[in-house]
Amino acid sequence: MAGDFNLALMLTVIKIMLTDKQELLEMAPINHCKQGKTRLKAMTLVELLIVVSIIAILASFAYPAYQTQVIHGNRSVALSDLVRIQLYLENGYNGGYSDGRDVIMSGGSCQLCESNNSHYLITIVADNHSYTISADPQGNQEQDSCLTNRSEIITLDHSGHGKPKACWK
């Protein structure tokens, strides 16, 4: 009985070897090794477009907020420069403020200031009894929300009054 089975198996193998390839493929079980569907691990164009559009939406909200914070930060530096200049002028008062102004504005630029001339241009007008320190916004700083128009500048005078009030809050 076992011999008949082996003989039948050998005849089947010989028959397979002699038959056409198409018949061989029809006899082989196709889904024997892999059960289920395989999927490539990659992004489709639609998925990529969704991700790009989400990033664009987030950037459209984040970038203007970032610009506003940069403008406010530059204004804070300019305000601290004005107060620093005021303290220097008051400490160095000796019958007038002009000598202090000349030391601070040596060479046409502010020696005490941390702000960049590309953000604010600092000027001092001083005489024996009073002074006015000004910060004129430059470039993107002209878009500061505390300024009502582009020709407005931030000032601090000898009595400690700063204008415009919205910038000093």
Structural domain of 99: 66-168
Nearest-5° Cα angle at 125, 82 to 137: 50
Residue 36 lies in a domain: no
Percent of the chain with pLDDT over 90: 38
For residue 19, the model assigns a pLDDT of 58
Query: How many folded domains does the chain comprise?
Result: 1
CA distances from 7 to 4, 14, 69 (A): 5, 11, 88
| CB 133, CB 155: distance < 8 Å | yes
Q: What pLDDT tens digit does each residue of the chain (169 aa) get?
A: 555 666 666 666 666 666 555 565 565 555 555 556 666 677 789 999 999 999 999 999 999 999 999 999 999 999 999 999 999 998 888 787 877 777 888 777 888 888 888 899 999 998 888 899 999 999 999 888 888 887 789 999 999 999 999 888 8
Write the CB contacts of 51 (distance below 8 Å, at least 6 apart in sequence).
43
Residue 2 lies in a domain: no
Residue 50 lies in a domain: no
Q: What is the pLDDT of residues 35-61, one digit of tens each?
A: 566 666 777 899 999 999 999 999 999
State which H helix or E strand residue 157 sits in.
strand 154-157
- Return the bridge partners of 157, or none: 132
3-state secondary structure of 31: coil
Residue 52 lies in a domain: no
For residue 53, the model assigns a pLDDT of 96
For residue 21, the model assigns a pLDDT of 57
Residue 5 lies in a domain: no
Residue 31 lies in a domain: no
Residue 130 lies in a domain: yes
User: Is the overall model pTM greater than 0.85, yes or no?
Assistant: no
The residue assigned the tokens 């002074």 is 131
Residue 1 lies in a domain: no
For residue 103, the model assigns a pLDDT of 83
